[in-house]
Amino acid sequence: MLFDEIKIGQMTLKNRVVLAPMGTTTDVTNSFNMRDVNYYGERAKGGVGLVLTGAVVSSTEFEPAPCQKLINTKDVYMLHMIAERVHCYGAKFGIQLSPGIGRMNWIDPYTAPYSASPCPNYYKPELICRELPTDGVKRLVKSMGASAKLAMDAGVDIIEIHAYGGYLIDQFSSAKWNKRTDEYGGSLENRQRFLMEIVDEVRTACGKDYPIAIKLTLDSVDDDERPMEEGVALIQSLADSGKVDLIHFGRGAYSCRWRMVSSVYQPYGFDLEAADIVRKAAGKVPIMAHGKLNHADVAKRALQEGKLDLIAIGHGLIADPHWANKIKKGKEEEVVPCVGCGECHFNAMKGHARPCAVNPLSMHENEYELTPAKENKKILVIGGGAGGMKAAVTAAQRGFDAVLWEREDALGGNLAAAGGPGYKTDVMDYVNYMIRQVEKYKIPVELNKEATIEEIKKFAPDFVVIAAGAEPIVIPVPGADKSHVVTAVSVLRKKAEVGQRVAIIGGGDVGCELAVDLSMSGKDVTVVEMQTDILKNGARFVANDQNIRYLVENCGAKILCETGLTEVLDDGILVKQDGKIQKIECDSVVFAAGFRPNQELYQAVKAANIECVQVGDNIKPGKIIDAVHQAYHYIRVLEYI
């Protein structure tokens, strides 16, 4: 069913796979550009049936554009080019149209934005939003119709009205934010009026046969912005109107962002549990959902069981734009897995072109392609983690002779440790994918191989990539060398076992993830962290941050912050908190206190006048995106280093 045709109104899609709408700003002018043409075109080339952009605003009267805009004919030129490119591959093209983001505005941190009613700005609560005047609301409705007509004339096949995620339309429909006393406030019917008038305006502007979709929030889950009964009533109203051709639903709020935008910790297809509710409310109107549906078995089952009509994939199609074609051809093992890191969203919010940790070509589709090697080189890669495997595979793809040395008995390195918890299968999927790639390109691998400068000289490589990672830090307190003291990496890689009572030293990502994993398996866990809070070891995507905090808070582990380890005993540890020493009884002590790179080998290779580079954690402990991108680009431009 995944590759069966489907009709959305009068529009026929060649299959059920949709590039989900995601934030799209790639230009300081808030216009589409050639990066967008190439980005969306690549996903169409990859086999999806429908390409959707992220939010495109119809007006800048009340707020600066936070994303692309479609206000007049000057904004049409590049939009038309995207439509042409997408159509070349038999896919349809749609834009997600929005009247604005209201209280969620982050573009201007000094001016109170407009919203349905006075309420705190999300990012700066001290800024109290101004209430949109009634005549201003009506102008925004008109702007949505005008922009929809511009889109249709540009070759856009469907409009998805953005009524989701706590943005402006959602603020109007939520009793939490809407305290208006005019025709747009009060009863649920009045709070829905803004959306219903937009639907009417778009329908009037584009005609009775033009497809209209709505993306909306079913419920806000752990927040009081949207009770489910109101979400159901809204879907029923839209379905009963007969003016909507597709309902795209999601769940969550910014306070539980990981229910809106998938995190690495979420299970596959996490919104499918609500699909039956939406199906009943929507009646005969087709429905679509998103949320880690880039697992073909999950997507196919959702269609077969009648839970969904369309499968929206976001981050998974950033990681691998050719997901659809690979699945259709039975090449599922060739799909590049999304690791759930959220670097795409995290960096886009900082104003960067949307990068992907595992796809260096994202937003650089025509810029960073590999070329055949100009001359053969023997490349030695030391370390079989994320950076090492990527370097070796990229070298083989270019036609170099690559050899990979790994000191452990298996590939994966610290990346395999990161994928160790049972709820982080996304990361382990990528580890296994990269191992298959090493095998596919027949790269010679030597396991249990300790690289020394003597061995390297004997091998006589033309170029060396040192991706030897970083070593776990063990704090040198008395007793740290006892037999029941291990590192988090060894536990996560199943190379060390722990007892029933476990003390984890360090409350960063690794310590918290391990604490949840062990707690879920029934262990009694205490986390000891010197800083004022857990997870202060670096910036991360907000959905991942919120989700791991939620898991830590609910797993039963005991968290001791502003607490330092002073000694390891045979039956516990001594810690210092508020100037006082206390004993914590435990059977095992696990260090998750960070990592330290050992650069002696790199310095020795340089001193031997052998051309070399470092990648990933061997430079400094970092993220998957650092290791993968460094490895890819060093090999891509090897002749110019």
Question: Using CA atoms, how far apart are residues 338 and 511, in angstroms rounded to an integer?
Answer: 23
Question: Using CA atoms, how far apart are residues 216 and 456, in angstroms rounded to an integer?
Answer: 58
From 40, 167, 254, 632, the catalytic residue: 167
Mean pLDDT of the chain: 96
Predicted confidence at residue 29, as pLDDT, reads 86
Based on the fold, state whether residues 70 and 111 are members of the same structural domain: yes
Based on the fold, state whether residues 609 and 567 are members of the same structural domain: no
Report the DSSP beta bridge partners of residue 94. 52, 158
Question: Using CA atoms, how far apart are residues 629 and 353, in angstroms rounded to an integer?
Answer: 15
Question: Using CA atoms, how far apart are residues 236 and 250, in angstroms rounded to an integer?
Answer: 16
Predicted confidence at residue 354, as pLDDT, reads 79
Predicted confidence at residue 24, as pLDDT, reads 62
Residue 425: CATH number of its domain: 3.40.50.720
Give 212-230 pLDDT, tens digit per residue. 999 999 999 988 999 999 9
Tell me the two tokens of residue 390.
């990527």
Considering only CA atoms, which of 183, 180, 163 is closest in space to residue 247? 163
Question: Using CA atoms, how far apart are residues 336 and 317, in angstroms rounded to an integer?
Answer: 9
Cα 494 to the center of its chain, rounded Å: 27
Flag whether pLDDT at 436 surpasses 90: yes
Residue 27: CATH number of its domain: 3.20.20.70
Predicted confidence at residue 28, as pLDDT, reads 80
Predicted confidence at residue 26, as pLDDT, reads 67
Residue showing tokens 């409009």: 159
Greatest pairwise CA separation for the chain in angstroms: 82
DSSP string over 239-285: HHHT--SEEEEE---GGGGGGTS--TTSPTTTTGGGHHHHHHHHTTS
pLDDT band at residue 370 using 50, 70 and 90 as cut-offs? very high
Flag whether pLDDT at 413 surpasses 90: yes
In 512-542, which positions are buried (b, 16+ CB within 10 angstroms) versus exposed (e)? bbbbbbbbbeebbbbbbbbeeebbebeebbb
Task: For strands 588-591 and 580-585, give the pairing.
Answer: unpaired
Residue 390 belongs to some domain of the structure: yes
Based on the fold, state whether residues 420 and 556 are members of the same structural domain: no
Flag whether pLDDT at 609 surpasses 80: yes
Based on the fold, state whether residues 165 and 286 are members of the same structural domain: yes
Question: Using CA atoms, how far apart are residues 23 and 172, in angstroms rounded to an integer?
Answer: 21
Question: Using CA atoms, how far apart are residues 32 and 4, in angstroms rounded to an integer?
Answer: 31
Q: Domain ends where: 574, 593, 612?
A: 593
How much of the chain, in percent, has pLDDT values that exceed 70? Answer: 100
**φ/ψ bin of 512: left (φ > 0), alpha (ψ from -120 to 50), beta (otherwise):** alpha
Residue 368 belongs to some domain of the structure: no
Q: Where is average pLDDT lowest: 18-32, 403-417, 523-537?
A: 18-32
554, with CB counted inside 10 A (0-12, 13-18, 19+), is exposed
Q: Which helix or strand (DSSP H or E) is residue 572 part of?
A: strand 572-577
Residue 491 belongs to some domain of the structure: yes
Report the DSSP beta bridge partners of residue 288. 248, 310
**Residues 113, 249, 365: CA angle, nearest 5 degrees:** 80
Residue 550: CATH number of its domain: 3.50.50.60
Based on the fold, state whether residues 415 and 284 are members of the same structural domain: no
Q: Where is average pLDDT lowest: 105-109, 163-167, 299-303, 582-586?
A: 105-109
Q: Domain ends where: 272, 302, 335?
A: 335
Domain that residue 296 falls in: 6-335
Give 538-563 pLDDT, tens digit per residue. 888 999 999 999 999 999 999 999 99
Question: Using CA atoms, how far apart are residues 94 and 47, in angstroms rounded to an integer?
Answer: 16
Task: Specify whether the CB–CB gap between 440 and 336 falls below 8 A.
Answer: no
Query: How many H helices and E strands in the chain?
Result: 21, 28
Residue 341 belongs to some domain of the structure: no
392: helix, coil or strand? helix
Report the DSSP beta bridge partners of residue 464. 380, 612
Based on the fold, state whether residues 96 and 142 are members of the same structural domain: yes
How many domains is the chain partitioned into structurally? 3
Cα–Cα separations (whole angstroms), residue 227 to 256, 288, 381: 14, 20, 54
Based on the fold, state whether residues 444 and 501 are members of the same structural domain: no
Task: Specify whether the CB–CB gap between 57 and 139 falls below 8 A.
Answer: no
For the segment 508-521, the average pLDDT, to the nearest whole number, is: 97
Question: Using CA atoms, how far apart are residues 166 and 172, in angstroms rounded to an integer?
Answer: 9
Based on the fold, state whether residues 237 and 283 are members of the same structural domain: yes
Flag whether pLDDT at 78 surpasses 70: yes
For the segment 513-520, the average pLDDT, to the nearest whole number, is: 98
Report the DSSP beta bridge partners of residue 612. 464
Q: Is 433 a catalytic residue?
A: no
Whole-angstrom Cα Rg for the chain? 26
* Torsion angle of C-alpha atoms 172, 178, 183, 189, degrees rounded to 10: 70
pLDDT band at residue 301 using 50, 70 and 90 as cut-offs? very high
Question: Using CA atoms, how far apart are residues 53 and 165, in angstroms rounded to an integer?
Answer: 16
Residue 346 belongs to some domain of the structure: no
Residue 580 belongs to some domain of the structure: yes
Based on the fold, state whether residues 507 and 416 are members of the same structural domain: no
How much of the chain, in percent, has pLDDT values that exceed 90? Answer: 94
Predicted confidence at residue 25, as pLDDT, reads 67
Based on the fold, state whether residues 454 and 500 are members of the same structural domain: no
Residue 357 belongs to some domain of the structure: no
Based on the fold, state whether residues 293 and 238 are members of the same structural domain: yes
Flag whether pLDDT at 425 surpasses 80: yes
* Torsion angle of C-alpha atoms 60, 66, 70, 76, degrees rounded to 10: 130
For the segment 431-448, the average pLDDT, to the nearest whole number, is: 98
Question: Using CA atoms, how far apart are residues 295 and 333, in angstroms rounded to an integer?
Answer: 11
Q: Where is average pLDDT lowest: 284-288, 353-357, 624-628?
A: 353-357
DSSP string over 396-448: HHHT-EEEEE-SSSSS-HHHHHHT-STT-HHHHHHHHHHHHHHHHTT--EESS
Based on the fold, state whether residues 96 and 170 are members of the same structural domain: yes
**Residues 76, 163, 90: CA angle, nearest 5 degrees:** 50
Task: Specify whether the CB–CB gap between 601 and 361 falls below 8 A.
Answer: no
Q: Domain ends where: 273, 307, 335?
A: 335
**φ/ψ bin of 559: left (φ > 0), alpha (ψ from -120 to 50), beta (otherwise):** beta
Considering only CA atoms, which of 172, 273, 165 is closest in space to residue 214? 165
Residue showing tokens 């934005």: 113
Residue 456 belongs to some domain of the structure: yes
